[in-house]
Structure 1
Amino acid sequence: MKAIFPGSFDPITCGHLDLIKRASLIFDEIVVLVMTNTSKSGLFSSIERVALIKNEIQNIENVTVAARENVLTVQAAKDLQAQVILRGLRSGRDFLYETDIAAINKKLNPDLETLFLPTNKEYEHISSSLIKEVAKFDGDLAGLVPVNVEEALKDKLI
């Protein structure tokens, strides 16, 4: 079974990576899908985000990365012949938001399932938005993002 894990990943965090590693044990294939979030302005280009993610998943055999900009998730899933959309949940707030999106996606493609995986407790406070804020003021990012992402953030923001 093939799943996509869509997101802006601006930048990818240790929480994202934990979810990818755990999901790689469940699915035959996972495509981490760098997408456009129209409600956010990105710090990294999609090319940069793909490169950062590739660096971190290179040793997970059944995980690849692709970028799909300005397309609905259900269309990307169809193009990639995926049966499942994988989403992580950090909190009840995420659950409410994500279930609305899952319902729309189900309406648009009844054959496509959404699977929610809860975030491990150690990562539930991490978000890409907060990471950028910490990085902007030269805060400690150890354990929040991979080293290559920390360096890329500092290059962009400091």
Structure 2
Amino acid sequence: MTRAVCPGTFDPVTLGHVDVVERAARLFDEVVVAVGVNASKRRLFDDAERLAMLVEATAHLPGVRVEGFTGLLTDFCTAQGADVVVKGLRGAGDYEYELPMARMNDHLSGVETVFLAARPQFTHVSSSLVKEVATLGGDVAPFLSAAVHDRLLARLAERAGG
């Protein structure tokens, strides 16, 4: 059985993230969506909220489960019995950022990294940009599930004091 890990912060999970997980689920027997959890990091959504959003976003995918992790990704992969990390790439900048990590992961534990090119409709979508645009009143509904979109707008309203 081949098990892959799709790691990320997912703050919040976008449809681009879900697309990568869906495609990974077609390539591997099991996919573990690894949500980086770290209480010291400031994020818009806390660890439990991000985990819950990922569980909801991937509920339709057999063979996919969601787990939180801290520490080295390679240690998490070893604990999960996974030999592959799957990362989505939106463009050359993502490749330049991800390649050294992929090489280090291979050096540390022999885990392979598989890069999936983002579909054209998601090449400009990132959690950070979605949050920024939404904070400024822009429409980010096309990039999020309805449930995540609602949570994002509610959280931004809370933070704005409204």
- Give CA-to-partner distance per residue, 1:15-34, whole Å, 9 cap, x none: 00111111111100001010
In the alignment of these two chains, the number of paired residues is 155
Give the conservation status (yes or no) of the 8 Å contact 1:74–1:109: yes
Once the two structures are superposed, the pairs formed by residues 41-80 of structure 1 within 5 Å of their partners are 41-69=42-70, 71-80=71-80
**Equivalent residues in 2 for 1:28-39, closer than 5 Å:** 28-36=29-37
Large movers: runs of 4+ above 3 Å: none
Partners of 1:53 and 1:134 in 2: how far apart? 21
Q: Percent identity?
A: 37
Aligned to 2:28: 27
Q: What secondary structure, in the 3-state scheme, does the structure 2 residue paired with 1:25 have?
A: helix
Unaligned residue ranges in structure 1 (runs of 5+): none
SS in structure 1 at match of 2:113: strand
2:160 maps to: none
1:113 aligned to 2:112? Answer: yes
Instruction: Tell me, in whole angstroms, the C-alpha distance in 2 between the residues paired with 1:81 and 1:121.
Output: 32
Distance 1:90 1:131 in 2: 15
Q: Distance in 2 between matches of 1:21 and 1:156?
A: 27
Q: What secondary structure, in the 3-state scheme, does the structure 2 residue paired with 1:12 have?
A: coil
CA distance in 2, matches of 1:115, 1:30: 13
Q: What are the ranges of 5 or more consecutive residues in structure 2 without an aligned counterpart?
A: 158-162
Could you give the per-residue CA deviations for residues 18-71 of structure 1, whole angstroms, max 9, x where no partner exists? Answer: 111111111000010101489x731111110010111111111111101012x1
Deviation at 1:107, TM superposition (A): 1.1
Between structures 1 and 2, the one with greater helix share: 2
Q: 8 Å contact 2:74–2:109 — kept in the other structure?
A: yes
**Contact 1:8-1:37 within 8 A present in 2 as well:** no
The one-letter amino acid of 2:75's match is Q
Partners of 1:87 and 1:156 lie apart in 2 by 27
> Equivalent residue for 1:7?
8
Report if the CA contact (8 A) 1:4-1:86 is conserved.
yes
Question: Which residue number in structure 2 is paired with residue 146 of structure 1?
Answer: 145
Counterpart of 1:136?
135
In the alignment, the residues of structure 2 paired with residue 120 and residue 51 of structure 1 have an alpha-carbon distance, to the nearest angstrom, of 25
With structure 2 as the length reference, what TM-score do the two structures score? 0.91
